[in-house]
Structure 1
């Protein structure tokens, strides 16, 4: 059912909409929000909520998952689409993480579980008021980074892929949902994470990046959660963990695939319970952080192989963002080159060198396995070595292109091309000679790839140029153990 869009009301009071079919819950929420200075309207059904949304503007909406005439997910979706300036949070049953994740994917900015913890609820409301248009403009208003300028100066490029990424970031920044940033090394995953932080309501709070692969396993728990004095040998004083350091802000877990299983379990609990227990402490400490994570590895494949917990994967992957590699947006090269050379010249107090056409042509034909980071390194080296007449192709010193190993499909195609058509009976069905011949080629190629990669299926699939799932299907189809 569609809802006609309303026009904003001038000087509208700060008002919340509470949607729940249980009278006791509605009264509890109204009482709590009233003590925070909010006026509340209530609805016991989707029908009543829709009618109120048509007539009024709300600073936030709290809705139960199950309503008498439908699901609260429907309301979340409608508000997200038609009343985007109204943050909406879901009230879910205790322990129902699937419902919570579903609500976040539908557009809810956060969720709270029943029985409602009033301290958690008050924190959620405070965040919502910073998001909504009705937030007060006084001293308590959040200091926000200039959104348009921040994005324009960081995520450069006019390609369709970058335009789509920027548009998605604008929506994602308003949510509190965990975001998983996928992409190859060097594409700028941390830059995307910083942009989400700077555009959101947590912009004035800390942004704490951590490379999960750079922390020794034995120190991980202490680094993430902190420790108390005397907790272990060498613990001479209390230490604040990364979660506490990011309080009120964003914790960016880069290369999250490097976490050992033991730490994955503890991280999952910290995210779900929104609290951590420092090493040596007897009680847990509540934390308020938004989790962003990233890795250059195929996390879904690691889950399939049992090397990454599926429950943690689904918890951090509420919203997935894919950052495109540079080879997929070559039209952005000129603007990236210009920005990098200008930055280098400014930093070194030199004139910006001219990039000659032969150099730009060489860059346009290069594959950039290291993406934007590699482009920066190439230009920095060329900037240092170039003569006064500018940067030429030779100054770039690009690596010689190495021929990629033929994919499984290419091998099969080449083998089929050598097959003598005169040897195939035209009366044969499509399920006989040629398909059988190609199957044999596939079998040999897969077996060789497995041997080359010591039976690591993920690496074998990459060598063959197919996905891990496709390889697993073919192994079963061809009966390869």
Structure 2
């Protein structure tokens, strides 16, 4: 294996010597420069695998080095060394394209970890990273060849090379978590954990314990030590979904953890270093939340070092058919159905619909239509799209449900845990007991009753309910009734 070379750029000889000794002990070759001019000469002559540069240099700054590398040698990662407490300078460097930063006085173990991670970008491990090919579709990799998605994929590739926090903005259902996961999978952290957390789903009184862990006996119910999400994501990526839902008290503690790169468990006395890349997302406007006083401005600047927009589905209509084919294949495999096709009219209807619920809505529509269609072909009427203009823009409210909720029995009679059916199915009636708009709880109980009345003869139960055999089989699997 070719020896890897690191360029150290600092105007202080003592610092250069300390860093050089550290790198030589790691088995790395070193080059040194005392100013911007010498650094550019070394880069052009030797193309090192990594650059470490001080922010303050006699004839310029570390930002000048970062920008030069981004323009001329984008494959070379660069980390900057900042004065203690100079987070603004570090953020500026990250925005310019720096891979990461370390603060003075330099913590050598942290520096070694940074160097080892950065060098994976230019080592043989890079060629072993998974790529988003057809063979990985089942893993949920990003689909789409529209101009908007080509731009997004290209940007993801660039962001994966950095350690900078990324704020992912997009509408509900547009795939923000999938984008965050893709950044992780293309990064040197790909073999470490990717930990997604919905910030709005954690009770406020448990947030500190969930994020930072706790010590035994620190509060009632803390019978053992517990690791938090930061520790679980150590060496990997922590994805903070719906970060705008964090209460202000938790925002203060999160800001400190990000700045100090350390956490203190509830009831703990010592801080624990953590190496975590932070990705965050929300469907809300963080700018508006800051202006309204609901989100701290300093935390916003720490999270929003790089902003990435995920395009809504209406801006990538060229991808709708590809996504539809993928979802239909997944649905057929999941429910053990024959291959499902879209009629020409159904395709045209999907292409003219605005999808306020984005990709998630498309998948839900197709799953519903797959159970209603006949002869394995989805017709336009099977889609049951809401009546709305195709160019309608989404509002701040959640997208409409694909189907309205209509109870087939009084609400007080429906009990999902009851062995008694909500109402009796009339076996002598020619009218179907089931309709496409039956409420799911009532639907499950009706299916159980029909199966019991027919001694679990699925063909007769389907006839009794007025649905096709395939529709019944799908629902038996959906409601986990297939254990009888």
Q: TM-score, normalised by structure 1?
A: 0.78
Partner of 2:258, secondary structure, is: helix
CA distance in 1, matches of 2:69, 2:135: 26
CA distance in 1, matches of 2:134, 2:113: 27
1:149 paired with 2:133, answer: yes
Shift of 1:318: 0.9
Q: Is the 8 A contact 2:79 2:98 kept in 1?
A: yes
CA distance in 1, matches of 2:270, 2:127: 33
Alignment of 1:371-390 (within 5 A): 371-388=358-375, 390=377
Q: Is the 8 A contact 1:12 1:57 kept in 2?
A: no
Alignment of 1:58-207 (within 5 A): 58-132=48-122, 135=123, 144-149=128-133, 153=137, 154-207=141-194
Partner of 1:115, secondary structure, is: coil
Shift of 1:404: 6.5
Name the residue aligned to 1:44.
34
Name the residue aligned to 2:378.
391
Alignment of 1:42-441 (within 5 A): 42-132=32-122, 135=123, 144-149=128-133, 153=137, 154-388=141-375, 390-401=377-388
Partner of 2:196, secondary structure, is: strand
Name the residue aligned to 1:34.
24
Q: Is the 8 A contact 1:184 1:296 kept in 2?
A: yes
Compared CA separation, residues 200 and 306, structure 1 to 2 (3 A): same
Name the residue aligned to 1:479.
none
CA distance in 1, matches of 2:207, 2:91: 27
Shift of 1:343: 1.3
CA distance in 2, matches of 1:25, 1:188: 45
Partner of 1:332, secondary structure, is: helix
Partner of 2:160, secondary structure, is: helix
CA distance in 2, matches of 1:98, 1:242: 26
Q: Deviations over 1:236-292 (max 9, x none)?
A: 000110000111111000000000000000000001111100000000111111101
Q: Deviations over 1:136-158 (max 9, x none)?
A: x5xxx689541243897322112
CA distance in 2, matches of 1:35, 1:12: 17
CA distance in 1, matches of 2:73, 2:129: 23
The answer to which of 330-339 and 235-244 deviates more is: 330-339
Compared CA separation, residues 185 and 350, structure 1 to 2 (3 A): same
CA distance in 2, matches of 1:151, 1:217: 41
Partner of 1:21, secondary structure, is: coil
Shift of 1:12: 4.5
Q: Is the 8 A contact 1:185 1:371 kept in 2?
A: yes
CA distance in 1, matches of 2:131, 2:48: 23
Partner of 1:100, secondary structure, is: helix
Partner of 2:80, secondary structure, is: strand
CA distance in 2, matches of 1:150, 1:102: 38
CA distance in 1, matches of 2:234, 2:302: 20
The answer to which of 394-403 and 104-113 deviates more is: 394-403
Q: Is the 8 A contact 2:339 2:376 kept in 1?
A: no
CA distance in 2, matches of 1:94, 1:243: 23
Shift of 1:14: 1.4
Q: Is the 8 A contact 2:143 2:323 kept in 1?
A: yes
Name the residue aligned to 1:19.
9
Partner of 1:174, secondary structure, is: coil
Moved over 6 A (4+): 402-405
Shift of 1:350: 2.0
Compared CA separation, residues 112 and 218, structure 1 to 2 (3 A): same
Q: Is the 8 A contact 1:225 1:241 kept in 2?
A: yes
Name the residue aligned to 2:477.
none
Shift of 1:346: 1.9
Partner of 2:192, secondary structure, is: coil
CA distance in 1, matches of 2:127, 2:222: 37
Unaligned regions of 5+ residues in structure 1, if any?
1-10, 408-481
Compared CA separation, residues 180 and 321, structure 1 to 2 (3 A): same
How many pairs are equivalent? Answer: 391
Q: Is the 8 A contact 2:8 2:16 kept in 1?
A: yes
The answer to which of 259-268 and 304-313 deviates more is: 304-313
Q: Deviations over 1:286-335 (max 9, x none)?
A: 11111010000000111111110111111011111100001111121111
CA distance in 2, matches of 1:31, 1:151: 45
Q: Deviations over 1:99-157 (max 9, x none)?
A: 1011111111100111111122111111112122xx3x5xxx68954124389732211
Shift of 1:352: 1.7
Q: Is the 8 A contact 2:338 2:376 kept in 1?
A: no
Partner of 2:337, secondary structure, is: coil
